[in-house]
Amino acid sequence: MARKSSVLQRAAIAVFSVIAIYAILNASVSRSLPSSSDLPRQLIREEQEREAPPIQPRVKVYMYDLPTRFTHGVIEQHAIVRGGGGGMMKKPTSDVTALKYPGHQHMHEWYLFSDLNRPESDRSGSPITRVLDPADADLFYVPVFSSLSLIVNAGRPVEPGSGYSDEKMQEGLIDWLERQVWWRRNGGRDHVIPAGDPNALYRILDRVKNAVLLVSDFGRLRPDQGSFVKDVVIPYSHRVNLFTGEIGVESRNTLLFFMGNRYRKDGGKVRDLLFQVLEKEGDVTIKHGTQSRENRRAATKGMHTSKFCLNPAGDTPSACRLFDSIVSLCVPVIVSDSIELPFEDVIDYRKFSIFVEANVALKPGFLVKMLRKIGRKKILEYQREMKLVRRYFDYGNPNGAVKEIWRQVSQKLPLIKLMSNRDKRLVLRNSTEPDCSCLCTNQTGLITSI
């Protein structure tokens, strides 16, 4: 009997041990697994983590501390030639950084320079960040005032004491750049240079063509100097006041408006022909006028009271008038077969612009007949779209042109790295053909659109 009791006791201990081990393991596994109430939440969180795109690091940009003769010194020389605006400035000033950058249609260089000089805390949402050590940089910005330099002596004899030369500025800039170790490292490929005026840096283009050029169009650039792949097309600075009223046609009594230089070179010769076709039309205002404060006021009034604004080619395919039209909510009628436009990866210009092939636009009666057929509803659609996108063309808007230019620049970085590494391992070839990148687009399709 005692023996039977001993066997039962050992069996009971064994069963208890198994139960205890099971309880411990079950508790441990339970703690590591979500409860039934937490499971859906965890599954959603894991799914979101799989779908969420990785956070893109901001592109690091180093801005050169250029000698002042390439930046504020250009402002100083511009003021000296013009007597400081009030006839008071006839000699250099002791503090050139206090001088105000003058207004003109290529002010991008000032706004980009000013943006990089702001504290990082004021640059929230920018796709780039400024670094102070060039060794940390992805890209290098060269803040030369190349477009302002071009017009310092424009149409004026050189004033005594000024002796300013844009050509000497260009030569001095490239001599300075080619002494920089960071320029020599990749032949300038990872450098960004503003050249908004079509004639900016014309003397040294072949020596800076590897860099990312900020241009208004490619009208004066050879295919081996500039391309959509390498460079960034930027907007002109609008020179008329922003239209602050509501959309509508009631106060816009003029059908089509244009005010600008009638006589241009190259593709701009279409202007004179358009004058001949349109100047006798009753509801069309087309005037010859050059840049002046008075003419800007007249242009502002004309664009703000017109349904459509004519945008023909200038000496090159683009002109500032397009961006004046957009901020005026005056529907652009673009007659420029080779025009290139900024930010087309996010903007569809057909939603608020009308493109007309030059040969078609010059047919007597065609333009006005086409525009008169466009009803109020369609014009309001165009105006709504312009209201949505006009911030992209406003350099003073915190979410406007400056941020978009930096976004486009930052997108060039993968190609820059590819080309830099590729160049280091390729053998030089004996070829007379330029080795350049291009985009093949529709070369034969009709471009007239409504």
Predicted TM-score (pTM) of the model is 0.82
Number of domains composing the chain: 2
Indicate whether 223 and 330 sit together in one domain: no
Q: Give the range of the structural domain holding residue 192, as residue numbers without chain letter.
A: 59-155+163-233
Q: Which residues lie below 8 Å from residue 447, measured CB to CB, with a gap of 6+?
A: 337, 355, 356, 357
Give the pLDDT score at 29: 44
Give the pLDDT score at 443: 47
Count H helices and E strands in the chain, helices first. 16, 11
Instruction: Report strand pairing: 284-288 vs 306-312.
Output: unpaired
Indicate whether 228 and 306 sit together in one domain: no
Indicate whether 377 and 285 sit together in one domain: yes
Task: Per-residue pLDDT tens, the chain, 450 aa: give them.
Answer: 545 455 556 655 655 565 655 555 555 544 544 444 554 555 445 555 555 555 568 999 999 999 999 999 999 999 988 775 444 465 667 678 888 999 899 999 999 999 999 999 999 899 999 999 999 999 999 999 999 999 998 755 555 555 789 999 999 999 999 999 999 999 999 999 999 999 999 999 999 999 999 999 999 999 999 999 999 999 999 989 999 999 999 999 999 999 988 877 665 688 889 999 998 998 999 998 777 788 889 999 999 999 999 999 888 888 899 999 999 999 999 999 999 999 999 999 999 999 999 999 999 999 999 999 999 999 999 999 999 999 999 999 999 999 999 999 999 999 999 988 888 886 666 655 555 554 444 444 445 556
Residue 70: inside a domain, yes or no? yes
Give the pLDDT score at 50: 52
Q: Which residues lie below 8 Å from residue 339, measured CB to CB, with a gap of 6+?
A: 217, 313, 317, 318
Half-sphere exposure of 137 (CA within 13 A, CB side): 19
Q: Which residues lie below 8 Å from residue 291, measured CB to CB, with a gap of 6+?
A: 104, 105, 239
Residue 343: inside a domain, yes or no? yes
Indicate whether 216 and 292 sit together in one domain: no
Are the C-beta atoms of 232 and 126 separated by less than 8 Å? no
Domain end point (choices 233, 264, 293): 233
Indicate whether 66 and 178 sit together in one domain: yes
Residue 63: inside a domain, yes or no? yes
- Phi-psi bin for 320: left (phi > 0), alpha (psi -120 to 50), beta? alpha
Give the pLDDT score at 423: 81
Q: Which residues lie below 8 Å from residue 375, measured CB to CB, with a gap of 6+?
A: none
Half-sphere exposure of 229 (CA within 13 A, CB side): 17
Domain end point (choices 186, 201, 233): 233
Give the pLDDT score at 296: 87
Give the pLDDT score at 36: 47
Give the pLDDT score at 39: 47
Give the pLDDT score at 6: 59
Residue 5: inside a domain, yes or no? no
Domain end point (choices 376, 392, 408): 392
